[in-house]
Amino acid sequence: MKKYLLLLWCFIALANFSPFAQKANFEQANKFTQNNVKKYLGSSRVNPNWIENSHLFWYSYKTADGNNFWFVDPDKRTKKPLFDNNDLASKVTAITHKPYNVNDLPIKKIEFEKNSQSSFTFEMDDLKFKYNTETKWVSKIDTVKKEKKDTWKSYSPDSTYIVFARQHNLYMLRADDTDSTEIQLTTEGERWFSYQSKGGDTASDKRLKTRVYWFKDEKKFYTLRYDMRKVKEMAVINSAANPRPTVETYKYAMPGDEHIGVSHLEIYDLASKEWVKPNLDKWKDQSIRTYRPRKTSDNLFVIRKKRTCDELEVVKVNTNNGDVKPLFSEKSKPYFNDQMNQLHIINEGEEFIWWSERTGWGQLYRYDTDGQLKNQITKGNYVVGQVARIDTASNTLYYPAYGKEKSFDPYYDIFYSTNFDGSETRIITPEEANHRFSMPKTDKHANYFVNNYSRVDQAPKAVVRDKSGTVIMELETMDLSRVKELGWSFPEKFKVKADDGVTDLHGVIWKPFDFDSTKKYPVISYVYPGPQTEAVVRDFTVTARYNTALAQLGFVVVSVGHRGGSPKRHKYYHTYGYDNLRDYALKDDMFALQQLANRYDFIDINKVGIFGHSGGGFMSTAAMFAYPDFYKAAVSSAGNHDNNIYNKWWGETHHGVKEVKKKIKKKEEVKDSTKVEAPEDDYEISFKSKIPTNPSIAKNLKGHLMLVHGEIDNNVHPANTMRVVKALMDARKRFDFMIIPNVRHGFSQYSPYFEKMIWYHFSEHLIGDYRNNVDLDLP
Residue 179 pLDDT class (50, 70, 90 cuts): confident
Q: CATH says 491-660+681-767 is which class?
A: alpha beta
Tens of pLDDT, residue by residue over 708-742, are 999 999 999 999 999 999 999 999 999 999 999 99
What phi, psi does 574 have (nearest 5°)? -80, -15
Tell me: pLDDT of 456 over 90: yes
- What percent of the chain has pLDDT above 90? 87
Tens of pLDDT, residue by residue over 87-133, are 999 999 999 999 999 999 999 999 999 989 999 999 998 899 999 99
Q: What is the 3-state secondary structure (H, E, C) of 626-640?
A: HCCCCCCEEEEECCC
Mean pLDDT of 147-152: 74
What is the spatial distance between Cα 550 and Cα 512, in angstroms, rounded to a whole number?
9
CA-closest candidate to residue 332, choices 352, 353, 362: 362
The per-residue pLDDT for 178 is 73
Q: Cα–Cα distances in Å, from 347 out to 213, 453, 694?
A: 19, 32, 50
Segment of 20-24, 146-150, 283-287 carrying the highest mean pLDDT: 283-287
CA 480 to chain centre: 27
- Which residues make up the CATH 3.40.50.1820 domain(s) of the chain? 491-660+681-767
The per-residue pLDDT for 669 is 52
Tell me: pLDDT of 670 over 60: no
CA-closest candidate to residue 255, choices 309, 203, 219: 309
The per-residue pLDDT for 682 is 77
Tens of pLDDT, residue by residue over 401-423, are 999 999 999 999 999 999 999 99
Tens of pLDDT, residue by residue over 78-98, are 999 999 999 999 999 999 999
CA-closest candidate to residue 254, choices 579, 614, 640, 647: 647
Residue 680 pLDDT class (50, 70, 90 cuts): low
Mean pLDDT of 308-320: 97
- Average pLDDT across the chain, whole number: 93
The per-residue pLDDT for 679 is 54
CA-closest candidate to residue 261, choices 218, 298, 230: 230
Tell me: pLDDT of 480 over 80: yes
What is the spatial distance between Cα 762 and Cα 767, in angstroms, rounded to a whole number?
7
Global pTM reads: 0.93
